[in-house]
Chains A and B, each alone.
Chain A
């Protein structure tokens, strides 16, 4: 059931500039940053991918563009999974927010922003979630040394 659905989705979404493949039982779609919103909107409205699982990034310092942004979706109707990936450069790490489509995007995008410095256009609330106000840098980037110490937050009087 799931495999047939994924083939249908792959066929319907096939287009120039998109790479679609099956990977470990899951559909993996690689596309341009500007196209992510279009793809996700279709996944949600036409193919019932109603559960937004998470968004994260993968840092490849030696490659250009440097960051891979990765979204995972699940369908509670036909129980299949899809991964959407895109690449953004270090100089302008921006992708569109998915808040208008999924409520859960709000906290997941905040985490991705603080950990990798990816900005989500349209998400006005990118305050730190796991880190704190005043944290310097993005700890999950590969050039952030694990032992790096943070400046002490001043004690306000």
Chain B
């Protein structure tokens, strides 16, 4: 067949280094590349010599679209960056806007945001570990982990009204307070989590097949990880205990007791284990937060930045006007620029905002961990086997939404 299909990418190399090498194309339509990544690899037999990793298949013009919507209307957009832990995106974005506007959130809001961030981190790590295990054929472990993740999704849906993209953060607070009985169900889920994650530890930690596929595969050194901009579990798997929650505490993290788990080699096994241990720490943090959760309002009262209460909108003219001005013009955020970073499930999630004092941002830039990690992925793929691409790529946990934006 002499049919050339159009290729939206231009590979970094089209000729092999040696005559007996071949170049193969992997993805983007391959389940293990999560549907959005294309890898051009030069192979010597089954060994990967070099790779050229491409993304962009899920690019939706996030940053361009942000410049045409009000600060408030961006909250649903940021949900769709890392859709495995949308709440962390919500809170990081709101924190950046609040920094610019000089807003101090209420103690209850600070605690709830911390609690929900950790809860989302568990859901995100469960997704990553479950998918990586399934790609290696561990279907039972996948079902155990995804079952717990689904309990978490349903439970957060009980609070926010949505399973995945919650739009629950608000500038200056949260959409609503916890419903009755929410914390009781939370402690039930955390207990079940421990049972099922314990079973997964038993199934895979010392499993010969798992160790052979994961240990000493996809190794990245601490120096390389820093140079290539890795943060989050990938950086910690190399042995560096760098975590923004500890190093530059934000929200309520300064008041919490937790450890920063690290790996020893920076290989796939360490990335798996760091994520598993981080979930344990998150559970530990959530239990502390539930015990110390303060009473009080979840949002500040400031009609410049926060929507008025709905019953006031229906009963008094000032709130009605305020509501309409807020929805149509958007909250006027003071002019300036700010970079705020939170420790998302994948690493440093930074929002760089530029405001000219209008209701619409002048610029919104996302420093997404997945995009930077994608640039570093070739360091973990080159030199290993073709079949290792799947577990290594799974352990990088590239989320298309935040990588391609």
Question: Which residues of A line the B interface, CB within 8 A?
Answer: 2, 23-24, 26, 50-54, 56, 58-59, 70, 72, 74, 76, 79, 81, 83, 102-104, 106-108, 111, 115, 125, 127-133, 139-140, 142, 144, 146, 153-157
Choice from A53, A76, A111, A156 contacting B242 with Cβ under 8 Å: A76
Q: Are A53 and B348 in contact (CB under 8 A)?
A: yes
Question: Which residues of B line the A interface, CB within 8 A?
Answer: 3-10, 12, 54-56, 59, 61, 63-65, 67-68, 99-100, 224, 226-229, 231, 240, 242, 247-248, 336-341, 348, 350, 352, 354, 362-363, 365, 367, 371-372, 374-376, 379, 404-405
Identify 13 residue pairs between A and B in the complex whose beta-carbon atoms are under 8 Å apart, listed by A's number: A26-B339, A50-B227, A56-B352, A56-B365, A58-B362, A70-B352, A72-B339, A79-B248, A103-B375, A104-B372, A104-B375, A130-B59, A146-B64
Cβ-Cβ contact count across A and B, 8 Å cutoff: 116
Chain B residues near A51 (CB-CB < 8 A): 226, 229, 231
Q: Are A72 and B64 in contact (CB under 8 A)?
A: no
**Can you list the 5 inter-chain pairs with the closest CB atoms, starting with the nearest?**
A104-B229, A107-B375, A132-B8, A130-B56, A103-B228
Q: Are B339 and A76 in contact (CB under 8 A)?
A: no
Q: Nearest chain A CB to B354's CB is how many angstroms away?
A: 6
Choice from A102, A140, A146, A155 contacting B229 with Cβ under 8 Å: A102
Q: Are A108 and B372 in contact (CB under 8 A)?
A: yes
Chain A residues near B341 (CB-CB < 8 A): 53, 74, 81
Report if A24-B99 is in contact (Cβ < 8 Å); known contacts: A53-B348, A79-B248, A157-B4: yes
Chain B residues near A54 (CB-CB < 8 A): 350, 352, 365, 367, 372
Report if A146-B362 is in contact (Cβ < 8 Å); known contacts: A103-B224, A153-B6: no
Report if A127-B10 is in contact (Cβ < 8 Å); known contacts: A104-B229, A140-B64: yes
Q: Nearest chain B CB to A133's CB is how many angstroms away?
A: 5
Chain B residues near A128 (CB-CB < 8 A): 9, 56
Choice from A26, A106, A133 contacting B9 with Cβ under 8 Å: A133
Q: Are A50 and B226 in contact (CB under 8 A)?
A: yes
Chain A residues near B8 (CB-CB < 8 A): 132-133, 153
How far apart are the CA atoms of A89 and B4 in the complex, in Å? 41
How far apart are the CA atoms of A42 and B20 in the complex, in Å? 46
By DSSP majority rule, is chain B's interface helix, strand, loop, or mixed?
mixed
Which residue of B is nearest A59, CB measured?
Answer: B363
Q: Nearest chain A CB to B180's CB is how many angstroms away?
A: 39
Which residue of B is nearest A53, CB measured?
Answer: B367
Q: Nearest chain B CB to A102's CB is how many angstroms away?
A: 6
Q: Nearest chain A CB to B346's CB is how many angstroms away?
A: 14
Q: Nearest chain A CB to B132's CB is how many angstroms away?
A: 23
Q: Are A125 and B12 in contact (CB under 8 A)?
A: yes
How far apart are the CA atoms of A100 and B229 in the complex, in Å? 14
Q: Are A72 and B367 in contact (CB under 8 A)?
A: yes
Chain B residues near A140 (CB-CB < 8 A): 63-64
Chain A residues near B61 (CB-CB < 8 A): 139, 146
How far apart are the CA atoms of A70 and B65 in the complex, in Å? 20
How far apart are the CA atoms of A133 and B6 in the complex, in Å? 10
Report if A106-B3 is in contact (Cβ < 8 Å); known contacts: A51-B231, A127-B10, A130-B59: no
Choice from B56, B337, B375 contacting A106 with Cβ under 8 Å: B375
Chain A residues near B352 (CB-CB < 8 A): 54, 56, 70, 72
How far apart are the CA atoms of A72 and B231 in the complex, in Å? 14
Choice from B54, B65, B229 contacting A52 with Cβ under 8 Å: B229
How far apart are the CA atoms of A53 and B371 in the complex, in Å? 11
Q: Are A102 and B227 in contact (CB under 8 A)?
A: yes
Q: Are B339 and A81 in contact (CB under 8 A)?
A: yes
How far apart are the CA atoms of A45 and B367 in the complex, in Å? 24
A-B contact sample (17 more), CB < 8 A, given A54-B352, A104-B227: A24-B99, A24-B336, A24-B338, A50-B226, A54-B350, A54-B372, A56-B352, A56-B365, A81-B341, A106-B375, A107-B375, A130-B56, A130-B404, A131-B59, A140-B64, A146-B61, A156-B4
Which residue of B is nearest A135, CB measured?
Answer: B8
Chain B residues near A102 (CB-CB < 8 A): 227, 229
